[in-house]
Structure 1
Amino acid sequence: MTSINQPSWSLFEKIGFRFSFVYFFLFIAFQNNSTFPFWYDIFEIPLKWTREFIPWLGEHLFNLSEPVFIGMTGSGDTTYDFLVMFCIVCIALLCTLVWSVIDRKRDNYSKLYYWLTTGIRYYVGFMLINYGFSKVIQLQFPNPGPYRLIEPYGESSPMGLAWTFLGFSKGYNLFMGIAELLAGLLLFRRTMIFGAFLTLMTAMNIMAVNYFYDIPVKIVSTHLVIMTLFLLLPNIKRLTSFFFTDIKTKLKFIKRPHYKRSLKIAMNSLKGLLLGYVFIYGFIDTLDAQKLYGTKAPKPDLYGIYEVTDFVINGDTLTDYKNEKLWKSIAVQWEGSLQVRTFQASYPKYYGIEKDSLVENRLKFTRWGKQDESFYFNYKKIDSTGLDFNFIFKGDTIQGFTKRYDKDDFILNSRGFHWISEQAYNR
């Protein structure tokens, strides 16, 4: 191997590095995605200023019709995020121009290049390690629950379809998780190139899924690919020669600048603490999260899917499927909420539910978004086979009987794995 340090860089290399340094630094700082430990505490003030400036920018520069929302939405591709990216690009261009004027005589930026690649390696590595743990433990993509199992394909969003596909298989989750955990190879200079090569394939797959299934993490996933390519850039020609010619080649490696022994010990100690935090604490934290809202989280008392077999209003059993009052199913997946599907409506109704402290087996239903639509729901569990219920709503006395379905009653969960298949089982 030969050193990556060069005595003199070309003008194009120096300008490209200046832009890359500012751009990647700002991206890591403002699109950190909880990658570095305690980052939001360390960077609290600049982030606070940004949350104040971006809405102003959207209103006064871009004349947006709606105020820029800065709260948590589950999306990483919000208007706020794209305006942040606009600012990052503008600042990077301006800094590159000023830097190029005042520092035009410098031969190279070998030391800064080392620290830039270190920041990128740790950013990409830590992020994929965090995501890798959430897949190995199957937290990010859970097995399809009651809501998904009774949702028609046509009603699911592309993102919902991807979550169902990816969450169905524990084995595939484990496979994806191991692939992402291999990004840990980026954290060591001697394995960085091999790690970047593997990570590029993983990151490109993540980016493709986000783009083609409309998953709102396109900004971050795209940058994971760009950053990995940046790490491989000095060896692109050598890798091309290795794969497509018979010319002998040697890979470049990143050489750490020379520092005093005490400083090296301090840096290695800090690295050890970071790695220990990310690997040990990250794994333990993911296990704890699994117990809070993952597969090992406590299930609600009525957890499951209940098909409504009879629905009686004021003593008359409804049989007309076009009647908007006729319930089709009840599903309970999370504590404190419940889903009701009717035959007439295309989409389900969701209710918040509260236990009545005075009356046993009685719940208060309140429809989401319609606080005035509430009623008391009395129920009786029939062993594990179903649920009988009754309630009064808008003057109607309603009684219902249900049949309970287990997850294994669905082909998706009961089909299993087969080495030998005489015919394709494609339903």
Structure 2
Amino acid sequence: MNTFPKTSTWSSSEKILFRFFFTYFTLFILFKNNGAYPFFGYLNELFNKILHNFIPWVGKNILGITYKIRVGPNGSGDTTYDYVLIFTIAIIAVISTIVWSVLGKKTKNYSKLYYWLTLAVRCYVGIMLINYGMVKVIQLQFSAPSMSRLTQTYGDSSPMGLAWTFLGFSKGYNLFMGIAEVAAVLLLFRRTLTFGLIVALMTTANVMAVNYFYDVPVKILSTHLFLMCIFLIARNFKTLWKFFFLRTPIALTDIYKPALKKGSSKAIFAFKVLLLGYVLGYGAYSTLKSKEKYYGDSSKSILRGFYEVNEFKLNDSLTSTSNKIKKWKYLMIDRKKYAKIKPIGEKSQWYKLTIDSTKNEMVLKNYKDTLEIYNLRYTEGDSTNFYLKGTVKLDTISIKLKRTKNYKKNFLLTNRGFNWINEFPFNR
């Protein structure tokens, strides 16, 4: 679309496209706010009371989905519920466009509505990218490779796990990505909108590509952020084409802004400043708080360390593997409530961890096999030696381990470091 002054007459195709995108993006922002607008969750609760019944009905009766459609959050943004919701929004937008086109034949343009729609969309995209950028700058979204990741083979990792390890390895790259996304603050102001959109378009395209090609379940959101950037920049597409490819002198135009009272304009500007202050200020505070909760010292176990097994006895035997208890290769303890055991020749397994430091006792419960419970008493030798004795199922167990607190030095990935000079590629 070109810039739309108040007095211009839009073409039929422009009006039809606008009617569709106005309905579609408005409903998407309302129903899939994803925490973009502050305190919007309270309004979402009202929508969800209807949608959580209506969307599964659409899936079952219109799309013929036979399995149960789950409606609760589970960490994925690409659930069946989400896709059926997008389908429903699209159908409503099509119907709305048809009805609106019949009733609005004489309307010359929608310049005022276009302004308010673009304001809503650029605030949505801007705040979403700022939020995502903050968690990258502080390195909360992609944490450094954990003990579990470092002992996992490439072949055993999921595509998403591989991407998270790659992206989380470098603090510098996290900072680079975070700054690029936080630059979406430029979308909130009309004068910097076009430059901000060029940056945001590349940023959202990269995020969308990672989500698609590494099977990250945020495809719906990233695709819509990209499409929203396309929608916003479309008004200057012809102008930018002339500038970049035809070497033609051009002048960018602002989005037409409806005439507002002086007080209203100041109120809108003050709202933007407060919104930006909230997103950046509270966003930084909440992100730092979350990082401390999940990765700070308060989340660490008193027995945190990487343990390499030197001796493993089951029923006083070095070879016995009764009741399918496999010999351990590594024990990994990081957080207070979780531990991971890697048996020899087997995949690692998560265990629920309980420690009683007053009695030097430890309990490990297998999440998959509820009967596999290790009741152990631990003894710390010198700075590295660590001993475990106790029972598992009907067997007695005795383990001698070597404890390494600074486990990262044991792995090439985390001890290689940065090198300006490389006589030969170090690609292992």
TM bucket by the smaller chain? over 0.9
Other-structure match for 2:69 = 68
Q: Which amino acid aligns with 1:186?
A: L
- Give the Cα separation in 1 of the matches to 2:417 and 2:6: 55
Mapping of 1:286-325 within 5 angstroms?
286-295=287-296, 297-318=298-319, 325=326
Which one is further off, 336-345 or 206-215? 336-345
Shift of the 4–290 alpha-carbon distance from structure 1 to 2, 3 Å rule, reads farther
Other-structure match for 2:377 = 378
- Give the Cα separation in 2 of the matches to 1:174 and 1:36: 24
TM-score (normalised: structure 2): 0.95
Shift of the 141–85 alpha-carbon distance from structure 1 to 2, 3 Å rule, reads same
Contact 1:19 1:92 (C-alpha < 8 Å) held by counterparts: yes
- Give the Cα separation in 2 of the matches to 1:4 and 1:157: 51
CA-to-partner distance for each residue in 1:19-77, whole Å, 9 max, x for gaps?
Answer: 00000001111111111101111232122211121122223333323211112211100
Which ranges of structure 2 fall in alignment gaps of 5 or more residues?
none
Contact 1:310 1:318 (C-alpha < 8 Å) held by counterparts: no
Q: Give the Å deviation of 1:130.
A: 0.5
Structure 2 residue 226 is matched with structure 1 residue 225: yes
Matched residue of 1:43: which SS? Answer: helix
- Give the Cα separation in 2 of the matches to 1:197 and 1:162: 25
Contact 1:4 1:253 (C-alpha < 8 Å) held by counterparts: no
Matched residue of 2:335: which SS? Answer: coil
Contact 2:4 2:111 (C-alpha < 8 Å) held by counterparts: no
Q: Give the Å deviation of 1:281.
A: 0.9
Q: Give the Å deviation of 1:353.
A: 1.8
Other-structure match for 2:419 = 418
TM-score (normalised: structure 1): 0.95
Structure 2 residue 136 is matched with structure 1 residue 135: yes
Identical residues among aligned pairs (%): 46
Structure 2 residue 178 is matched with structure 1 residue 174: no
CA-to-partner distance for each residue in 1:379-406, whole Å, 9 max, x for gaps?
Answer: 1223441421112123221101112241
Shift of the 375–415 alpha-carbon distance from structure 1 to 2, 3 Å rule, reads closer
Other-structure match for 1:17 = 18
Contact 2:10 2:109 (C-alpha < 8 Å) held by counterparts: yes
Q: Which amino acid aligns with 1:374?
A: I
- Give the Cα separation in 2 of the matches to 1:3 and 1:9: 8
Shift of the 379–393 alpha-carbon distance from structure 1 to 2, 3 Å rule, reads same
- Give the Cα separation in 1 of the matches to 2:78 and 2:289: 28
Shift of the 383–253 alpha-carbon distance from structure 1 to 2, 3 Å rule, reads farther
CA-to-partner distance for each residue in 1:243-275, whole Å, 9 max, x for gaps?
Answer: 111222221211321011222222222222211
Other-structure match for 1:329 = 330
RMSD across aligned positions (CA)? 1.9
Contact 2:314 2:320 (C-alpha < 8 Å) held by counterparts: no
Tell me the number of residue pairs that the alignment of Structure 1 and Structure 2 aligns. Answer: 423
Q: Which amino acid aligns with 1:276?
A: G
Contact 1:364 1:376 (C-alpha < 8 Å) held by counterparts: yes
Which ranges of structure 1 fall in alignment gaps of 5 or more residues?
none
Other-structure match for 1:242 = 243
Shift of the 170–19 alpha-carbon distance from structure 1 to 2, 3 Å rule, reads same
Matched residue of 2:380: which SS? Answer: strand
- Give the Cα separation in 2 of the matches to 1:341 and 1:251: 60
Other-structure match for 1:353 = 353
Other-structure match for 2:35 = 34
Structure 2 residue 263 is matched with structure 1 residue 262: yes
Other-structure match for 1:391 = 390
